Amino acid sequence: MSQSPHTQAVRSTRKALIYARVSSTKQTTRGDGLNSQITRCTEYAKYKGYVVTELFKDDASGSLTNRPGMQAMLAYLRQNRAHPHVVIIDDISRLARGIEAHLNLRAAIAGAGGILESPSIEFGEDSDSQLVENLLAAVSQHQRQKNGEQTKNRMMARAKNGYWVFHAPLGYRFEKVPGHSKLLVRHEPMAGILQDALEGFAAGRFDTQVEVLRFFERLPHFPRDSRGIIRHQRVRDILTNPVYAGMVEVPNWGIARRKGHHEGLISYQAFEKIQDKLNGRAKVPIRKDIATDFPLRGFIICGDCGTPLTSCWAQGRTRKYAYYHCPKKGCASYGKSIARDRVEGEFEHLLESMQPSRSLFEIARDMFKQAWDTQHQRALLERTGHDNRIREIDASIVQLLDRIVDASAPSIVKAYESRIAALENEKVILREKIAFAGRPKKGFEESFRTALGFLANPVNLWRSEDIRDKKTVLKLTFAKQLSYTKREGFRTVLPTLPFEVIQRLKGERGGNFRPENEMAHRGRFELPTPRFVVWCSIQLSYRCISRVAGEASGR
């Protein structure tokens, strides 16, 4: 039937808006969904004779109603209520993917003076049209929910197989790897920074979370929040994330910790040490204003009462003076300040006295080499013991699974499951030990180059301008705090194992070190405990000591 000229004129002058939506920003950047919708809606407008005045787009979930593009379109419709616009959508699912959201937006568009149309469905106000529209909205909601369930199920299955399925954590990025699809891989330089921090906390180079935070703050490129701050919670999240140990765990989905396919930044043993340290020690704040100026603060104690010496700056007429002093009232040394230059000068002299002669150094080196070889042989024997223990664990897990099947009480089932999880963790650690037992990453010379360089002359590292180097000297040289009085200076000190070995080789009598009855002979000297090899390789392999090795090797 032909239309009147008046009707055709009205249709030709009617204005229209186009609304297009995709579910995520990724679909906007990597797909062509928005352009396809816009093209289809534009062709529909031409067919109907509409003039498209504005285009509105969103990249948000269809279950939401408060989308920027949708709100902007509703505001535009309200401003032009005197001239009603047709709102064209490609499909009913582009408006919403939920019954409630669909009805709310449908009413909002109508209330703003808009007339909803689509090339895929005819919107009407009669009962039959509304029934079809609601059915299609319900189907769209079901599809959204079904897609969500399928996506979650695929993610759960992949996580159970040892793959990380969420956003890549700091220090990692996703990369397509043959046989694994998308896999977490190291992302430098952040991976190396986090590895240094995690290993340092596990080994004791960083005593507290605050020290780790200070380490991150010294790095200008370390990510910060919108206020330019690194939060304490960010540090704790890094220290407690098993992903950095090569593990995968999703407690919200009931997925217990398991070995992942990605490479960890640290070993699982180191991760367990970190957790034990976090759960067993309180946070101790660090005073940034004092620690750098007084490196011995907290490490030397009063020889009269045993209280750690504190420190301060005293204002003179023309300049400030640095002092250490005992803070305990009633102590014989209370109120007696000791010049910082005197204390630290005597400490440096103490370090120099611990430096071995060339001949004694070579003797100690040979002993450490023997200990290295002994530990290597012992590690090979330990592998057999670890294999036997894994077989015992597997048998225990089978027994516990049989008991779970027969158990009826939920508390008993939960107890069995907790025991199985603990056994699985033990298996992970044992497999890690087997992988490295008897297979050192580096040879003796390469592994001990920095360690031997430090032992040859610890004063070099102490004279560093970096407070971390000075703290490292204290930890690696002395087994406990040093006792000091203004009258006597440093009292008897207890060196760590390697320096104790060197002093026993010296055979010194009296002095600051414990006297020995006689000089130990090279051929009859008892070998140091093999744990020294592990201790030394961990404690002395950091970058802060590497330059000492270079200086020692050049002497």
Q: Which residue, 58, 54, 80, 79, is CA-closest to 68?
A: 58
Strand duo 320-325 + 338-339: pairing: antiparallel
Q: What is the pLDDT of residue 66?
A: 83
Q: What is the pLDDT of residue 184?
A: 92
Task: Collect all residues with Cβ–Cβ distance below 8 Å to 523 and sequence separation of at least 6.
Answer: none
Q: What is the pLDDT of residue 32?
A: 64
Q: Which residue, 236, 229, 234, is CA-closest to 208?
A: 236
d(CA 472, CA 542): 10
Q: What is the pLDDT of residue 365?
A: 72
Where along the chain do its domains lie? 5-147, 172-286, 294-353, 356-379+423-555
Token pair 């030397």 is found at: 300
Neighbours of 381 (CB within 10 A): 10
Q: What is the pLDDT of residue 17?
A: 92
d(CA 368, CA 352): 22
Strands (E), 217-341: 247-250, 255-259, 300-302, 310-315, 320-325, 338-339
Range 172-286: architecture per CATH: Alpha-Beta Complex (3.90)
Q: Which residue, 85, 97, 99, is CA-closest to 130?
A: 99
- Give Cα 440 distance to the centre of its chain: 26
Neighbours of 92 (CB within 10 A): 22
**CB-neighbour burial class of residue 189 (10 A; exposed 0-12, middle 13-18, buried 19+):** exposed
Give SS3 for 301: strand
CA atoms within 13 A on the CB side of 338: 27
The alpha carbon torsion through 284, 290, 295, 301 (nearest 10 deg) reads -70
- Give Cα 176 distance to the centre of its chain: 22
Amino acid of residue 232: H
Give the pLDDT confidence of 193-203 residue by residue, as tens digits: 999 899 888 88
Q: What is the pLDDT of residue 291?
A: 57
Q: What is the pLDDT of residue 443?
A: 62
Q: Which long-range contacts (CB under 8 A, 24 or more apart) does 103-112 make?
A: 103/137, 104/65, 105/65, 105/70, 108/65, 108/74, 109/74, 109/77, 112/74, 112/77, 112/78, 112/81
Give SS3 for 240: coil
Amino acid of residue 428: V
d(CA 28, CA 272): 43
Give the pLDDT confidence of 161-187 residue by residue, as tens digits: 889 999 999 999 999 988 888 899 999
Neighbours of 310 (CB within 10 A): 16
State the pTM of this model: 0.50
d(CA 22, CA 29): 11
CA distances from 433 to 375, 383, 386 (A): 14, 8, 8
Q: What does the radius of gyration of the chain's CA atoms come to, in whole angstroms?
A: 36
Q: Which residue, 357, 355, 435, is CA-closest to 390?
A: 435
Selected from 3.40.50.1390, 3.30.200.20, 3.40.50.150, 3.40.50.12780, the CATH number assigned to the domain covering 5-147 reads: 3.40.50.1390
Amino acid of residue 74: L
How would you write the pLDDT of the chain (555 residues) with one tens digit per residue?
Answer: 444 444 444 444 688 999 988 877 665 555 567 888 889 899 999 988 899 999 998 887 767 778 888 899 999 999 988 888 999 988 888 888 878 888 888 888 888 888 898 888 888 777 777 788 888 888 888 887 888 888 888 889 998 988 999 999 999 999 998 888 889 999 988 998 999 899 888 887 788 888 889 889 888 888 888 888 888 899 999 999 999 999 999 988 888 888 899 999 998 888 988 998 888 744 444 444 445 788 888 888 898 888 888 888 888 788 888 899 888 888 988 888 889 899 989 998 888 887 777 776 677 677 777 777 777 777 777 778 888 888 888 888 888 888 888 787 888 888 888 888 888 888 887 877 777 665 665 666 666 666 666 777 788 888 887 777 788 788 878 888 889 988 888 888 888 877 777 777 666 433 344 433 333 333 333 444 444 444 444 444 444 444 434 443 443
Strand order in the sheet with 338-339: 310-315, 320-325, 338-339
Q: Which residue, 239, 240, 257, is CA-closest to 248?
A: 257
